[in-house]
Amino acid sequence: MTDLKRDRVSWLDGDMPFSDSFGDHFYSRRDGRAECGHVFLAGNGLPERWEAANRFTVGELGFGTGLNFLETWRLWRETRTNDGTLEFVSFEAFPMKADFIRRAIGSWPELGGLLDLLLQRWSELAVKPAAWRLDEQTSLRVVVGDALSGLGNWDGMADAWYLDGFAPARNPDMWSAELMRAVARHTRPGGTFASYTAAGWVRRNLDAAGFDVEKAPGHGGKREMIRGRLAG
Ligand SMILES: C[S@@+](CC[C@H](N)C(=O)[O-])C[C@H]1O[C@@H](n2cnc3c(N)ncnc32)[C@H](O)[C@@H]1O
């Protein structure tokens, strides 16, 4: 058994997780699920891109409550073709306890069935690293540890990236030039990323790593987000 490192989490309004160590929310206070749809799914051209592919890989920095994964899986099950496969790989340094994940995701009853399936596997995280086959066309792998070292040991490539560390000013390691270069190295030709932040130095790190970066309207109260495609 591995002793997993945990974040210190408080709860606002009953079911809204807040990281005490990073001083930030895990997702938009307004509607995290709608934010995921706008920023990460639409920002990466999903579901249209996976409808046109046989095999699609999503990479994520920061698994958190699993909200992005569960919303992606829900949409995937609605839109996938008969023979397509989705591989979701997420890098997470401080995996949440199962009961915290349940408390957060409880706000979205439409994700409840998928949440149960995810939590059936969750205790395996402390035992051995592996990709879990969650249904006949979907696998999830949560790579535990710092994202930079996790990516260094991962030999896969993603078609779409969800860049979802805490706010850059509070968690600069999750947006560093070195990590953005590693993300680019693990992106298939024509692959994309999306993020809720439009911080100038994050844009410059992504640009220097080889992405064509553009601003787009943000979700909820946020004026801007960014998205981009691997150049060339
Ligand atoms: C904004 S939250 C992610 C929200 C998540 N995508 C969701 O759907 O709930 C950021 C996550 O990044 C993780 N994190 C912070 N620093 C990290 C690092 N250096 N490497 C890997 N994960 C990190 C935190 O533990 C937290 O779960």
Q: Which is nearest to 195 in space by CA: 169, 166, 220, 173?
A: 166
Q: Whose CA is nearest to atom 2 of ligand 1?
A: 26
Q: From first to last of its 232 residues, what are the pLDDT tens digits of the chain?
A: 778 999 999 999 999 999 999 999 999 988 999 999 999 999 999 999 999 999 999 999 999 999 999 999 999 999 999 899 999 999 999 999 999 999 999 999 999 999 999 999 999 998 888 999 999 999 999 999 999 999 999 999 999 999 999 999 999 999 999 999 999 999 999 999 999 999 999 999 999 999 999 999 999 889 999 999 999 7
Q: Encoding tokens for residue 42? A: 């639409």
36 contacts: CB under 8 Å, gap ≥ 6:
27, 67, 68, 71, 72
Q: Does residue 94 have its Cβ closer than 6 Å to ligand 1?
A: yes
Instruction: Judge contact between 72 and 88, C-beta under 8 A.
Output: yes
Helix, strand, or coil (residue 76) = helix
Helix, strand, or coil (residue 162) = strand
What is the pTM for the complete model shown?
A: 0.98
Q: Does residue 67 have its Cβ closer than 6 Å to ligand 1?
A: yes
Task: Quote the distance between the C-alpha of residue 179 and its chain's center.
Answer: 15
Helix residue ranges, H only, the chain = 32-35, 48-51, 67-79, 98-105, 112-122, 147-152, 177-185, 200-209
Q: Whose CA is nearest to atom 25 of ligand 1?
A: 94
Q: Does residue 118 have its Cβ closer than 6 Å to ligand 1?
A: no
Structural domains in the chain? 9-230 (3.40.50.150)
